[in-house]
Amino acid sequence: MKKAGYILSTLLLGLFVLAFSSNVYSQSITVTAPTGAAVWQKGTTQNITWTTSGVTGTFWIELWKTGVKVGDVNSNVSGTSYSYFIPTGLTTGADYQIKVFSNPLWIIYGTSPVFSIVDDTQPYITVVSPVSTDHWEIGVPHTISWTDNLSSNVQIDLMDVTGATVLQSLGAYAGTSYIWTIPASFSINPAGYKIRLSNINDPTTNTLSALFHITANSQTITSVTFAPTGNYVQRQTNQTISWAKDFSENVNVYLVKYPDSTGSAADSTGLISANVYGTTTNWYVSDIQTLGYYKIKVRSVLYNQDTAGKFLFSAHYFAVVPTGGNGGGRSITVNTPALTPIQPWAYNQLHTISWTKTNIPENVDIELWHTSGTKVSTICTNIWGSSYNWFIPASMQFGNYTLKFFATGIPGVVITSRDFQITDANGNTNFTVALTAPLAGVTCQTGTLLTITWTKNFSENVNLFYADGDFHSNKTSIMADVYGYLFNWWIPNAGSISRGPHSIIVEREGFPGIHDSIAININSSSPTGTLTLLAPLGGTVIPRGTITQISWNKSGVDENVRIELWKGTSSLAMEIIKTSQPGVACDWYIPDYLPAGIDYYIKVMSVLDPSIICQGTNFKIAIYKSFGVYPNPSDNGFNVNLDESAKGNYDMVVYNRLGLKVLTTTLNADASKELSVSTANLPSGVYYVVLTSGEERITKSVVVQH
């Protein structure tokens, strides 16, 4: 019946979560231990760890085998780790998994990789490091680590990429780790290596690590120099590429092709020179080299993929052009628009662009640019002949422009350009319209009259629009073809127009490029919509100095909300948490200066209509207890120093990095706030100090260095 109750609760919670899926799907749990290489021995204590994103509260842990639940590990765990004693009655196998659930939202959970549970008498060795993502640099110490249940030493061998051939014996060692400093003279194989660990007394008990790589030290390629004049190179020419690096190995030099010069992904990569010694190479641009945009890439021969510091691109794009380039008599002479004087072209009309080519067999591409240096648009591409008819749209702004001409297939290399003006039908370039009312930022009510006024220096009528936000897209007509300088607009009732920021827009009739806009706010003449606070729940205990989530539900409320913290019967808010928060959730850091208390509550209200408000029930803000560990790192010992607010007894346990207990004791906070711990007999490494008092559990890490 108890399990049925949990199932029913889970189903009800599932319906709740579906209603607020935007919050749930942003939450996750990732199990970090056990790993896929883990071997747990029955009768031992192992550490289960996990990380979370957007998940708070406690956790429920289960043990599974072959996709079937074996049993509960613990149903109410705080924090992100748990020490699990492996029952001796479990069946051995290599098909176990750990699942960690959010409590009580069981739809949020994480699952570990498959791992093994073995008898306490079965010998085993499990590699902890290296792992598959490791790149170990020569001349630097690296830790080979493992777990085992052997009474004898472990033989360590460096193997080839297959794991079948011993390349170097590193010796036999006790314990569960060995520090290996890779010699500076080590000969690197880019294919990679494996570590084999075996029982010195019984080599049949052995295991291999994942494939890892050994690399040169952290020296890098510092620069690649290739900057041809005009940022283009001609076919059938010799080019010099140079670079600077502070490592000794050779490099490969590549030619990388791009579809344009705007940062798009590369089309293809080809090898120019392989295994180059030194810092320069020569590149002959063949007569069949594809025209277009390129960059040069230089990469260490020890890497078969781009790895930070081991590769670098040339700084700028360059173009490959036909033999003769922009020299050799290649030219385009623009006939229209005329050069002297600069020709005005009216918008909303058809105009002919014409030109004459010399020694250019390619077709022509034409782009429109502002004279300030900003590209406006591509007018046409791949045009055969010597002219193109271009209709200038009515939305085009008046002003000075430039036409740029390119040979098709050779982007980025401007052959010629021509300046001109875009005007109205009469050759004018300075027509304007300006809104004078309402004032910018004013708040207007639905179902009321709004007076709109403007000034203009043209004879045509105007069109009036409104739009959500301050954009001119998705605009809605207020009135078309309005005569004069004033219009009274009846703002639609609530439901017909959204509340919040809007723009009022005025445009010249037939010439939308001549326009003006003013930002206003539209509010409802009567409150509509509701807010419902979801978290924090009443009775929740939240420590100071931590982060908790505030969440709420909206119905008929599109605008942002204001969030306030209140306490008791105070007539003023204790703190303004958010002044204008979008969405339906936010994180809140509880300041250390807030007094502890059980009568705190949250208010959430509309930023446009404070009468749309919701209030939560009382929750508790508690004093957060902590402790310090010093010195850290330590040699022969460290001190544990409790917070002055700590009371009563604390159980202290020290774990090593494998999750095994190495020391336990008790600290009476009423008698002393400090405890000295000896580490003289502990090997160097990372340890975790865990203090527990009732439901309170606090963890700190300490590094032991001898």
Task: Sketch the domain layout of the chain as residue ranges.
Answer: 2-118, 125-215, 221-321, 331-423, 433-523, 530-622, 627-704
Q: What is the pLDDT of residue 339?
A: 82
Spell out the residues 6+ positions from residue 152 whose beta carbon is closer than 8 angstroms to its own: 199, 200, 201, 202
pLDDT of residue 99 exceeding 90: yes
Q: Where are the beta strands (DSSP E) in 88-187?
A: 93-103, 109-111, 115-118, 125-129, 135-137, 141-148, 154-159, 166-173, 177-181
pLDDT of residue 472 exceeding 50: yes
Hey, which CATH number is domain 2-118, 3.40.30.10, 2.60.40.2840, 3.20.110.20, 2.130.10.10?
2.60.40.2840
Q: What is the pLDDT of residue 532?
A: 93
pLDDT of residue 218 exceeding 70: no
Cα separation, 514 vs 239, whole angstroms: 51
- Residue 463 and residue 482 in contact, taking contact as beta carbons nearer than 8 Å: yes
Spell out the CATH class of 433-523: mainly beta
Q: Maximum CA pair distance of the chain?
A: 103
- Calculate the alpha carbon distances from 123 to 1, 43, 204, 657 in Å: 42, 14, 10, 21
Spell out the CATH class of 331-423: mainly beta
Percent of the chain topping pLDDT 70: 89
pLDDT range class, residue 9, cuts 50, 70, 90: very low
Cα separation, 404 vs 377, whole angstroms: 11
- Element spanning 12, H or E: helix 2-19
Listed residue (217, 308, 233) closest to 272, CA to CA = 233
Task: Name the DSSP letter for residue 447.
Answer: T
- Residue 555 and residue 529 in contact, taking contact as beta carbons nearer than 8 Å: yes
Spell out the CATH class of 125-215: mainly beta
pLDDT of residue 276 exceeding 70: yes
CA dihedral over 200, 203, 206, 208, signed as positive or negative: positive
Spell out the residues 6+ positions from residue 353 whose beta carbon is closer than 8 angstroms to its own: 334, 336, 337, 366, 379, 387, 388, 389, 390, 403
pLDDT range class, residue 13, cuts 50, 70, 90: very low
pLDDT of residue 377 exceeding 50: yes
For the ranges 127-141, 334-348, 588-602, the lowest mean pLDDT is seen at 127-141
pLDDT of residue 198 exceeding 60: yes
Assigned token pair, 393:
């749209």
pLDDT range class, residue 3, cuts 50, 70, 90: very low
Q: What is the pLDDT of residue 310?
A: 80
pLDDT of residue 107 exceeding 70: yes
For the ranges 71-75, 476-480, 689-693, the lowest mean pLDDT is seen at 689-693
pLDDT range class, residue 14, cuts 50, 70, 90: very low
pLDDT of residue 28 exceeding 50: yes
Cα separation, 508 vs 485, whole angstroms: 12
- Residue 508 and residue 460 in contact, taking contact as beta carbons nearer than 8 Å: yes
pLDDT range class, residue 11, cuts 50, 70, 90: very low
Q: What is the pLDDT of residue 404?
A: 92
Mean pLDDT, all residues of the chain: 83
For the ranges 4-8, 36-40, 410-414, 416-420, the lowest mean pLDDT is seen at 4-8
- CATH architecture classification, 221-321: Sandwich (2.60)
Tell me if the pTM is above 0.75.
no
Task: Name the DSSP letter for residue 634.
Answer: B
Overall average pLDDT of the 557-578 stretch: 88
Q: What is the pLDDT of residue 282?
A: 93
- Residue 216 and residue 248 in contact, taking contact as beta carbons nearer than 8 Å: yes
pLDDT of residue 479 exceeding 90: yes
Contacts of residues 113-117 at CB distance under 8 Å and 24 or more positions apart, as own/partner, are 113/34, 113/35, 113/36, 114/36, 115/34, 115/35, 115/36, 115/37, 115/38, 115/39, 115/40, 116/38, 116/39, 116/40, 116/92, 117/39, 117/40, 117/41, 117/42, 117/86, 117/90, 117/91, 117/92, 117/93
Cα separation, 98 vs 633, whole angstroms: 33
Q: What is the pLDDT of residue 61?
A: 94
Q: What is the pLDDT of residue 425?
A: 75
Cβ-count burial of 672 within 10 angstroms (0-12 exposed, 13-18 middle, 19+ buried)?
A: exposed
pLDDT range class, residue 194, cuts 50, 70, 90: very high
- Residue 48 and residue 84 in contact, taking contact as beta carbons nearer than 8 Å: yes
Scanning the structure block, which residue is given the tokens 């969440």? 551
Higher pLDDT among residues 25 and 78, named by residue: 78
Cβ-count burial of 23 within 10 angstroms (0-12 exposed, 13-18 middle, 19+ buried)?
A: middle
Percent of the chain topping pLDDT 90: 30
CA angle 84, 86, 91 (to 5 degrees): 145
Residues 491-520 as b or e (16 or more Cβ within 10 Å = b):
beebeebebbbbbbbbbbbebbbbbbbbeb
Spell out the residues 6+ positions from residue 450 whose beta carbon is closer than 8 angstroms to its own: 438, 444, 488, 489, 490, 491
Domain 627-704 sits in CATH at 2.60.40.3080
Q: What is the pLDDT of residue 545?
A: 72
Cα separation, 293 vs 319, whole angstroms: 5
Q: What is the pLDDT of residue 508?
A: 84
Q: What is the pLDDT of residue 177?
A: 92
Scanning the structure block, which residue is given the tokens 């749309």? 612
Cβ-count burial of 11 within 10 angstroms (0-12 exposed, 13-18 middle, 19+ buried)?
A: exposed
Cα separation, 73 vs 82, whole angstroms: 9
Q: What is the dihedral of CA 104, 106, 112, 114, to 10 degrees?
A: 130
Which phi and psi (to 5°) does residue 422 adopt?
-110, 130
pLDDT range class, residue 705, cuts 50, 70, 90: very high
Assigned token pair, 696:
């309170």
Which of 42-56, 228-242, 246-260, 379-393 is modeled with the greatest confidence? Answer: 379-393
- Element spanning 603, H or E: strand 597-606
Cα separation, 494 vs 448, whole angstroms: 11
Cα-only R_g, the chain:
36
Overall average pLDDT of the 544-570 stretch: 86
Listed residue (531, 555, 551) closest to 612, CA to CA = 531
- Calculate the alpha carbon distances from 439 to 428, 505, 609 in Å: 30, 13, 20
For the ranges 64-73, 155-164, 505-514, 677-686, the lowest mean pLDDT is seen at 505-514
Spell out the CATH class of 530-622: mainly beta
Each residue of 409-446: pLDDT tens digit? 776 667 788 999 888 777 776 778 999 999 888 888 88
Q: What is the pLDDT of residue 22?
A: 37
Scanning the structure block, which residue is given the tokens 């703190």? 575
Each residue of 133-148: pLDDT tens digit? 677 888 767 889 988 8
Question: Would you list the DSSP string of 21-74?
Answer: HHHHTT-EEEEEES-TT-EEETTSEEEEEEEEES--SEEEEEEEETTEEEEEEE
Q: Give the 3-state secondary structure of residue 454.
A: strand
pLDDT range class, residue 637, cuts 50, 70, 90: very high
- Calculate the alpha carbon distances from 174 to 198, 349, 571 in Å: 12, 88, 69
Higher pLDDT among residues 107 and 213, named by residue: 213
One-letter amino acid identity for 195?
I
Assigned token pair, 568:
């008791």
Assigned token pair, 157:
């061998």
Q: Give the 3-state secondary structure of residue 702.
A: strand
- SS3 string, 242-281, reads EEEECCCCCEEEEEEEECCCCCCCCCEEEEEEEEECCCEE
Topology agreement, domain 221-321 and domain 627-704: yes
Q: What is the pLDDT of residue 358?
A: 78
